[in-house]
C-alpha cells in the first residue's frame, strides 16, 4: 500500500464513498455510515477517546474516525470499497442497520436476534456484523437509573427497529414481563411474533399505546423507542398518569434533551434519563471490540455532550 504524505482527511467533514478513490491515509481508519450523517456525534466521541488512548499507547496514535454520507442504494458497493480500503471498523446508523445484514460476511448470533447490526469489524473475507445498541441501552439504564432488567416489569413504547433490539435485550436480561405498546397493530403483532419465535412468548405481551393495561400501575421502567418527542410540540407517546409514579423513564431521544415525556415524568417525581447515554455506551462497546482494550467512556461522554 502506498503511503501518502498528504494531510489526513478532516474527521469533522462529511465524506462520501467517492472520496475513497483517493483514500490513502496511513493508520487505522474507522467510520460511521448514515444518511443523513451530518449531525452524527460519533466522530467527536470516538476521536476524543482515541486521543486519550493514544496518550496511553502509541498503537492508537494513527487511529481516526470519519463520517460518510451513504445512500441506501449505494450501501453494498460502499461496504465493498471500505473493505478494500481496509477500514478496520464501521458503525452503521439510520437507515442502514437492517439492510446491512445482507451485505456482511458473518453476523454475530446475538445481533441476528436483535434484527440489526450497527458495528462492523474488518476481516480478510469481509466484515463481521455486531449490534452494540442493546448493550448500550442496558448499560445506560444501569448507569443512569441504577436499574437492572432482571425481574422487572418493563413497558417499551414503539415497535420499530430500535424497539426490536431493545425488546430482545430486555428479555435476555431476564425481565419479569415486557409490555410493548404501539400505535398501529400490524407492526406490533409482527414484533410479538418474532419474540415468540425466539422463545419469549410467555414473558411478553402487546397493547395499544394509548391504552396501557392495568399492570402499568406496577411498572418498574418505561422505555420510549418511538419517534414521538423529536418535535417540540409532540404529545406524550402514552398517558403517563396510568403508570406507576415509582417507575423510572428512559427516553432513547437525546435531542431535545428533555422531551415532553421526560418533563412530565420529572414533574411526577420519577427518575428519568435521556438517550445520550445509550449513544455513548453503544459507541464505547464498538470501540472496545475494534481496539480489544478498555476505552475511556467519560471522554466519550464529555465529547458527545459538548458536540450536542
Least distance from C-beta 158 to ligand ATR, angstroms? 3
Q: Which is nearer to ligand ATR, 15 or 182 (CB)?
A: 182
Cα three-residue angle 141-167-178, rounded to 5 degrees:
85
Q: What is the DSSP string of 105-123?
A: SEE-HHHHHHT---EEEE-
Least distance from C-beta 225 to ligand ATR, angstroms? 6
Q: Which is nearer to ligand ATR, 141 or 261 (CB)?
A: 261
DSSP conformation class of 151:
T
Sign of the dihedral through C-alpha 101, 304, 225, 166 = positive
CB 81 within 8 A of CB 17: yes
Q: Which is nearer to ligand ATR, 99 or 105 (CB)?
A: 99
Q: Indicate if 38 belongs to the active site.
A: no
Least distance from C-beta 93 to ligand ATR, angstroms? 10
Least distance from C-beta 213 to ligand ATR, angstroms? 17
E strand map for the chain: 14-15, 28-34, 63-69, 89-92, 106-107, 119-122, 127-130, 153-157, 177-182, 204-208, 221-224, 248-251, 272-273
Residue 87's Cβ-count burial label (10 Å; 0-12, 13-18, 19+) is buried
Binding site for ligand ATR (CB under 6 A): 158-163, 182-184, 187, 209, 225-228, 237
Q: Which is nearer to ligand ATR, 171 or 303 (CB)?
A: 171
Q: Which is nearer to ligand ATR, 31 or 209 (CB)?
A: 209
Least distance from C-beta 224 to ligand ATR, angstroms? 9
Which residues contact residue 146 at a Cβ distance below 8 angstroms, ignoring those fewer than 6 apart?
none
Task: Give the residue numbers marked as catalytic.
Answer: 97
Amino acid at each position: 500500500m502506498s503511503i501518502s504524505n498528504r494531510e489526513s482527511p478532516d474527521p469533522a467533514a462529511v465524506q462520501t464513498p467517492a472520496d475513497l478513490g483517493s483514500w490513502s491515509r496511513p493508520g487505522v481508519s474507522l467510520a460511521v455510515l448514515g444518511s443523513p450523517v451530518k449531525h452524527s456525534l460519533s466522530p467527536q466521541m470516538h476521536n476524543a477517546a482515541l486521543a486519550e488512548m493514544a496518550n496511553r499507547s502509541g498503537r492508537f496514535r494513527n487511529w481516526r474516525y470519519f463520517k460518510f454520507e451513504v445512500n441506501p442504494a449505494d450501501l453494498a458497493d460502499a461496504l465493498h470499497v471500505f473493505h478494500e480500503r481496509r477500514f478496520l471498523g464501521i458503525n452503521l446508523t439510520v437507515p442502514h442497520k437492517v439492510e446491512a445484514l445482507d451485505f456482511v460476511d458473518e453476523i454475530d448470533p446475538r445481533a441476528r436476534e436483535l434484527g440489526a447490526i450497527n458495528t462492523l469489524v474488518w476481516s480478510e473475507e469481509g466484515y463481521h456484523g455486531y449490534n452494540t445498541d442493546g448493550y448500550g441501552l442496558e448499560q445506560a439504564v444501569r448507569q443512569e437509573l441504577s436499574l437492572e432488567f432482571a425481574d422487572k416489569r418493563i413497558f417499551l413504547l414503539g415497535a420499530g427497529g430500535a424497539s426490536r433490539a431493545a425488546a430482545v435485550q430486555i428479555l435476555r436480561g431476564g425481565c419479569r414481563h415486557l409490555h410493548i405498546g404501539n400505535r398501529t397493530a400490524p407492526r406490533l403483532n409482527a414484533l410479538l411474533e418474532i419474540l415468540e419465535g425466539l422463545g419469549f412468548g410467555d414473558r411478553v405481551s402487546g397493547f395499544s399505546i394509548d391504552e396501557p393495561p392495568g399492570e402499568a400501575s406496577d411498572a418498574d421502567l418505561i422505555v420510549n423507542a418511538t419517534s414521538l418527542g423529536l418535535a417540540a410540540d409532540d404529545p406524550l407517546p402514552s398517558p403517563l398518569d396510568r403508570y406507576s409514579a415509582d417507575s423510572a423513564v428512559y427516553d432513547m431521544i437525546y435531542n431535545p434533551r428533555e422531551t415532553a415525556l421526560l418533563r412530565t415524568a420529572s414533574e411526577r417525581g420519577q427518575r428519568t434519563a435521556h438517550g445520550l447515554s445509550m449513544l455513548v455506551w453503544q459507541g464505547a462497546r464498538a470501540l472496545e471490540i475494534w481496539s480489544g482494550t478498555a476505552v475511556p467512556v467519560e471522554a466519550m461522554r464529555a465529547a458527545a455532550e459538548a458536540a450536542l
